[in-house]
Structure 1
C-alpha cells in the first residue's frame, strides 16, 4: 500500500491475486498485486466519548465468529469466490443505483461484483457497467455550466470521472440523492489533470478487478472540509470541454459514504466473514450489516468486542517486531493480503511471503483511550496457497515497508465494526472508531 501526498484517507485495493483454474484439473497461478490508496483528510481522533474502558486483549490467529444471516433488511451478502476477474480474497457485493429522488424506484440497475472496501468512502462505478437507460437518468453535477469531475488518487492508479447523484439500494436500505463517482464517463471529455496522473489509470473493470468500489469506512465524505474552500489539486474539478479548473465542493455535494444516507441503520457497518482453514476455501459467504447497536443483528454493546478510537481515516497504531507505526495501521477489506514489514520472512519475486512452513506472528495495536490488543496471525507460503485453486485465504501475506495493513485475511472468523465519524452507538461511543469480535 502506498499513500499519495494529495490524499490521506487510505483504501487499499489489490487486484488479480488469484489462482486461475482450468478444466480437467489443470490450473495456472496468477499473482499480480495492484495496490491502490484512495485517501483524504487524516486527523487524529479523540477516544469515543462513551466507549467503555478496556484492558489489553488477545485475539487468536484462528477466530471462530460466524456471520449473521444476510436475510434481514439491513444486510447484504458478501461473497469471496471465483469471478470473471479471478481475484483471491476479493469481497464482492451487489449495489442497485436508480434515478435520484425516487426512493430507488425509477430507472434502476443492479451491479454485481462491486468490491466492499472498508478503508475508502463512497461508491465508485465504471460507466461501462451501467446500462445507458440508467446512466442517462443519473443526474450529473454541474457548476456554472461546467461538469463536475473528481480525481481519486490511489497508490497504483487513479480513477477519473463525473460526479452524479443517485439513489442507492443495498438490501432493504435506501439512500437518496447520494453523490457517486462514475469512472470513465463519456460525458467527461477532458483529459485528467496532471495532478491526477500520478499512476496508471483505472479505466475499465479489468484494471481494478471489480465493477466498482463500495467504500463504507469511517469517514462521511471522501474529502471533507479541505475541499469546501481553497480546495487543493487532485480532488474536485469543473470541466468545460478540454479545460478543467480546481473546484470548491460543498460537503453535501462531495462523494459520500452511502450508509449515512439511510433513514435508519446509518451510523456504521459490520463486515462479518466465516472462518476458513489453513489451505483456504474455494469460497466464503459473509454479510455486510448496516448500523451499529440499532438492531439485534448489529450489537456492539455487550459483545465483548475490542473498540479502538481511530483517526478520521480509520487508522490506529501498531507495533510489530519492536517497530511502531503511528496511525498507519488499519483493517482493510479492500486489501487481499496482510501487508507488513518483516524482511526475516522469505518472499517471492512479487513480495508475497513464502516461509517454508506456516508461521504464527503477533502485532500489538492501540487506539485512543488507551485501548490496546494483541492480534495473532498466520503466514503461509503464498506459492502453496495459490496452487490450491482456492480463493479465500486467512494467511496470505506480503511485504510492505512502514505500514501494517490487516487486509482481508484478518476478517475471516471475525465481526469487524466501523463507526462513522460524528455518529454514536451504545458500544462504540462517537465515531470514528473500529472494533472487532473474534468469537
Structure 2
C-alpha cells in the first residue's frame, strides 16, 4: 500500500497535513504500492493575495455547519480525541499504550500521549525518544531472515527513517498483540537512509513531526501489501544495513484495528463542532468497530457512503473538474483543494477571502445517491493570527486532488470500513461514510 506523505507549513506555528489518497490502488486486492505525490511546503502566511486568481460566478452560499455529537467516552471500544495547543492547528491526538509483545498489553507498559490520529495512513509510528527506555528494551526487533528490519516513510517536507519492532498496543480496552510498529529516529540505526529515501530533511524527533507519533488507522490493513511480499520496493523496507528487502504481510507495519480480538472491521472518528471563528480546543471520540456494538452503528443511520480503493480514495467533481483523488484525512490540518476564484496568500497557499465563502463538492457514486457536500472557507491569515487551535473553515490551495482534512470532521461521525472486512451497514470494505447530524 501507499506510504504516508505530509506537508509541514509555517503559519504562526506549523501546519501539518497528512496528504493521503495518492496512487492507483485496487479496491479488491492489496497488490499495488500507492505513494501519494508530495505537495510543496507552504511558507509563513503573509496575508498577501495572489494575483493569479480568476473570477467565479458561483453564488456565495454558506454551508450549514455539521452538528453530530460525539459518542460518550467510556466503553472499552472508545478513546478520547483532543485538539489543543500543540503548536500545529487541527491536530487530533490520542494516547497509545505499548507493552512487551505477547503479554496482552500487561507487562513493561508505557502510555505515549500526543499521537496524531491519521485516517489516511496505515500503522503505528512512534518517535524513539518518546518511548521510555524500560518499555523500549522490552520490545522485539523484527528480522527478515537473520537481518534486522528498517523502514523509510516519505513526507512532503522530509523523510522518516527507523527500525521495525513488535509490541502489544492497547487503545482503551482494545489490544493488538505482536503488532509491527515503526520506531522513527532510533539512534541504534547508524546506517543512513538509502538515497532514494532522502527527500527533503530528516524527520526524527517530536519537534520535527509536531507529535510523539502517528496512529494510521485508514481503510488498509497494512502499509505496503503484496508488492512488498513479492520483492523489495523502493522507499519501503530495508535491512538495517540499508539493503532493500521483501517483507511478509505479518511483518509489515500494520493497522492496529485489524488485530483487535473484536471491533476489528473499522472505526468511527467523531468530533464536536467548533466555532466558525476558531476554538481554543476541540473534543471527540474514536470508536472502534462498525455495527459490532450499540455505540458504533452504521446500519440505519442514513449515512452517506462511498466505496474506495485501498488508499481510501473516491471520486468527486469540483468546479466542473473530476477529482479522482478525493479522501477524508484527519491527518491533514486544513482542506486542500484547487480553487483560483478564492484569494490565495502568495507565500503560504492559504485561502484568504475578505469574507467567508461557501463552496460545495459533488461526491460521485455515493450511496444512496450522488451528494453535494458543502463547506466554508474563511481568511487563513486572520484565523492563524487568532491564537486558537481548532478551525472548521481553514483551506490551502492544492492542485489535482481534494483532501477533506480536519475541518471536515468537526460535527460529523466519519466511518472507515477496512479492506477484507464487512459490516451490516457498509458491506464489504474498503469504504468511508459520514453522518452530519
TM-score by length of 1: 0.88
Task: Tell me the equivalent position of 1:427.
Answer: 425
2:19–2:332 Cα contact (<8 Å) kept: no
2:120–2:331 Cα contact (<8 Å) kept: yes
Q: Distance in 2 between matches of 1:374 and 1:282?
A: 30
1:11–1:332 Cα contact (<8 Å) kept: no
Task: Tell me the equivalent position of 1:329.
Answer: 326
State the 1:61 CA deviation. 4.2
- How big is the alpha-carbon RMSD for the aligned residues of Structure 1 and Structure 2? 1.9
Q: Distance in 2 between matches of 1:166 and 1:383?
A: 42
Q: Structure 1 333/224 Cα, relative in aligned 2: closer, same or farther at 3 Å?
A: same
1:12–1:119 Cα contact (<8 Å) kept: no
Q: Structure 1 257/435 Cα, relative in aligned 2: closer, same or farther at 3 Å?
A: same
Select which of 45, 48, 52 maps to 2:27.
45
Q: Structure 1 17/339 Cα, relative in aligned 2: closer, same or farther at 3 Å?
A: same
2:123–2:253 Cα contact (<8 Å) kept: yes
Q: Structure 1 200/252 Cα, relative in aligned 2: closer, same or farther at 3 Å?
A: same
Secondary structure at the residue paired with 1:297? coil
Q: Distance in 2 between matches of 1:373 and 1:199?
A: 39
Task: Tell me the equivalent position of 2:2.
Answer: 9
Task: Tell me the equivalent position of 1:51.
Answer: none
State the 1:277 CA deviation. 1.8
Task: Tell me the equivalent position of 1:77.
Answer: 80
Task: Tell me the equivalent position of 1:222.
Answer: 223
Q: Distance in 2 between matches of 1:408 and 1:172?
A: 26
2:27–2:430 Cα contact (<8 Å) kept: yes
Superposition pairs of residues 185-204 of structure 1, within 5 angstroms? 185-204=186-205
Task: Tell me the equivalent position of 1:68.
Answer: 71
1:35–1:154 Cα contact (<8 Å) kept: no
Task: Tell me the equivalent position of 1:104.
Answer: 105
Q: Deviations over 1:99-121 (max 9, x none)?
A: 10000001100000000000000
The reply on whether 1:319 has 2:317 as its aligned counterpart is: yes
Task: Tell me the equivalent position of 1:211.
Answer: 212
Q: Distance in 1 between matches of 2:389 and 2:183?
A: 28
Q: Distance in 2 between matches of 1:71 and 1:193?
A: 45
State the 1:228 CA deviation. 0.3
State the 1:194 CA deviation. 0.8
Q: Deviations over 1:67-109 (max 9, x none)?
A: 00111100110000113xx111000010000010000001100
Q: Distance in 2 between matches of 1:331 and 1:306?
A: 13
State the 1:289 CA deviation. 0.4
State the 1:15 CA deviation. 4.6
Secondary structure at the residue paired with 1:245? coil
State the 1:344 CA deviation. 1.5
Q: Distance in 2 between matches of 1:369 and 1:72?
A: 30
Secondary structure at the residue paired with 2:168? strand
Q: Structure 1 41/380 Cα, relative in aligned 2: closer, same or farther at 3 Å?
A: closer
Q: Structure 1 426/60 Cα, relative in aligned 2: closer, same or farther at 3 Å?
A: farther
2:220–2:419 Cα contact (<8 Å) kept: yes
Q: Deviations over 1:185-223 (max 9, x none)?
A: 122111100111122221111111111000000000100
Secondary structure at the residue paired with 2:179? strand
Task: Tell me the equivalent position of 1:263.
Answer: 261
Task: Tell me the equivalent position of 2:136.
Answer: 135
Task: Tell me the equivalent position of 2:405.
Answer: 407
Deviates more, 1:277-286 or 1:409-418: 277-286
Q: Distance in 1 between matches of 2:63 and 2:108?
A: 47
1:61–1:375 Cα contact (<8 Å) kept: no
1:112–1:211 Cα contact (<8 Å) kept: yes
**Would you say how many aligned residue pairs link Structure 1 and Structure 2?**
403
2:3–2:154 Cα contact (<8 Å) kept: no
1:147–1:188 Cα contact (<8 Å) kept: no
Secondary structure at the residue paired with 1:228? helix
Secondary structure at the residue paired with 1:296? coil
Q: Distance in 2 between matches of 1:209 and 1:102?
A: 31
Deviates more, 1:419-428 or 1:60-69: 60-69
2:20–2:311 Cα contact (<8 Å) kept: no
Task: Tell me the equivalent position of 1:279.
Answer: 277
Superposition pairs of residues 90-101 of structure 1, within 5 angstroms? 90-101=91-102
TM-score by length of 2: 0.89
2:124–2:256 Cα contact (<8 Å) kept: yes
Q: Structure 1 353/12 Cα, relative in aligned 2: closer, same or farther at 3 Å?
A: farther
Secondary structure at the residue paired with 1:345? coil
Q: Deviations over 1:131-177 (max 9, x none)?
A: 11111111001223321001111222221111100000001111100
1:45–1:368 Cα contact (<8 Å) kept: no
Task: Tell me the equivalent position of 1:310.
Answer: 308
Unpaired stretches in structure 2, ≥5 consecutive residues: 29-61
State the 1:381 CA deviation. 0.3
Task: Tell me the equivalent position of 1:147.
Answer: 148
